[in-house]
Amino acid sequence: MTLPTRRIGPFTVSAIGLGCMNLSHAYGAPVSEDDGAALLNRALDSGVTFLDTAALYGGGNNERLLAKAVMHRRGEFTLASKCVLDMIDGKRALDGSPAAIAKTLDGALTRLGTDHIDLYYLHRLDRRVPIEDSVGAMVRAIDAGKISAIGLSEMSAATIRRAYAVHPVAAVQSEYSPVVRNPEIAVLDTCRELGIGFVAFSPVARGLLCDAVRDDAYENEHDIRRGMPRFNGDNLRHNLIAVDAYDALARRVGATPAQLALAWVLARGDHVVPIPGTRSIAHLEEDLGALALLLDASVFDAVDAIFAGGAIRGARYSAAMQAQIDTETFPDEELA
């Protein structure tokens, strides 16, 4: 199957990619290897040509899953992974030093069973290390033939420009959805100006915009949303009022909530590629159905109106996680 395509740096990829994190990380117990392999192969069979993983996800197990499940189909997709964030001795660690980047990259190549990654991101900004030094390590990886292009994740327009001055950046990845609008402050325009692709992760707002979050009784103690203020308590109960209005709008236009969110993200610009994650083949196919939607701009205006003002309460990250985020924040944004 062939899907519409968009450009991310030197790569032509399906207009909707696949974020692979959910299979191994952040939302509870990992799926079985067989179930993960089935989902990944169905994505490729359905025309998805952009797979996104990271060293952090499952402590490297997400990369290992891709190796076993789809690396025999390596020619069918653009492979993206990430460094700087990693699991060291079982604990999440942030290290943007050139030595750590080189070590994480070599480990990723081994885990993935390949000698080359197409798009390699600095997963977060390590403020202890000049961004120029971190990008320099990535340039050396390009020169060594280990990666093709450089990406940045959750970084501000100012940091993007500093990085770009060292070497062209192919992609910037940040959380972006009708609920999370931080890239609109400066990053989207900076990417457009510099010819950088923008990759939107969590485009259905960590399940909020796909009818997956109706209360804060998360099944698994390791669900990342337990530590995110907007997904808990009175904040969540308030936020679900706007979500209910959004769900009603999706029904009126003949879309599922997930499809409407993805169509909204796709409409932000031709340089924008969302990478929803899922553990369900049915949800994967639902997500890809967003590409067939033909919606008037007034529908997207209605989405914007629903989530305007104080429709969403609560910080999007815990204080510890926010400390590693470089993306701009709004003057009135709640921070943990």
Catalytic residue among 27, 57, 120, 246: 57
pLDDT in tens, the chain (336 residues): 899 999 999 999 999 999 999 999 999 889 999 999 999 999 999 999 999 999 999 999 999 999 999 999 999 999 999 999 999 888 899 999 999 999 999 999 999 999 999 999 999 999 999 999 999 999 999 999 999 999 999 999 999 999 999 999 999 999 999 999 999 999 999 999 999 999 999 999 999 999 999 999 998 998 999 999 999 999 999 999 999 999 999 999 999 999 999 999 999 999 999 999 999 999 999 999 999 999 999 999 999 999 999 999 999 999 999 999 999 999 999 998
Q: Could you state, in order of their start, the residue ranges of all structural domains in the chain?
A: 5-207+261-294
According to the CATH classification, is domain 5-207+261-294 in 2.40.420.20? Answer: no
Told to judge if 246 belongs to the known catalytic residues of this protein, a careful annotator would answer no
- The CA-based angle 239-203-119, given to 5 degrees, is 150
Q: Is residue 302 within 8 Å of residue 249, measured between CB atoms? A: yes
Distance from first CA to last CA of the chain, Å, rounded?
44
